[in-house]
Amino acid sequence: MRSVGRKSISASATPRALMEEKVLANVWTARVLTLYPEMFPGPLGQSLTGRALKDGLWQLALTNIREHGLGKHRAVDDTPTGGGAGMVLRPDVLDAAIRAAPVTGPLLYLSPRGQRFDQAMARELAAGPGVTLLCGRFEGVDERVIEAHGIIEVSLGDFVLTGGEIPAMALIDATVRLLPNVLGNAASTEEESFSHGLLEHPQYTRPNDWEGRKVPDILLSGHHAAIEAWRREQAEEITRARRPDLWADYQARKDAKG
The domain ranges of the chain are 2-176, 192-257
**What is the percentage of the chain residues whose pLDDT exceeds 70?**
87
The pLDDT assigned to 21 comes to: 58
pTM score: 0.85
Rounded to the nearest integer, the mean pLDDT of the chain is: 90
What is the amino acid identity at position 69? G
- Which among 165, 195, 160 is positioned nearest to 177, based on CA atoms? 195
CATH of 192-257, picked from 1.10.3720.10, 1.10.357.10, 1.10.10.10, 1.10.1270.20, is 1.10.1270.20
- Which among 104, 174, 161 is positioned nearest to 135, based on CA atoms? 161
Annotated binding site: 136, 156-161
| Residue range 2-176 in CATH 3.40.50.2300 | no
More confident: 42 or 23: 42
pLDDT digits (tens, 9 = 90+) for 202-239: 999 999 999 999 999 999 999 999 999 999 999 999 99
Please state the rounded mean pLDDT for residues 98-104.
97
- Provide CB contacts within 8 A for 39, sequence distance 6+: 15, 165
**What is the separation of C-alpha 66 from the centre of its chain, rounded to a whole number of angstroms?**
23
Annotated binding site for S-adenosyl-L-methionine: 136, 156-161
pLDDT digits (tens, 9 = 90+) for 174-199: 999 999 999 976 655 555 556 688 99
pLDDT at 167 over 80: yes
**What is the separation of C-alpha 1 from the centre of its chain, rounded to a whole number of angstroms?**
20
pLDDT at 19 over 60: no
- Which among 30, 40, 90, 28 is positioned nearest to 65, based on CA atoms? 90
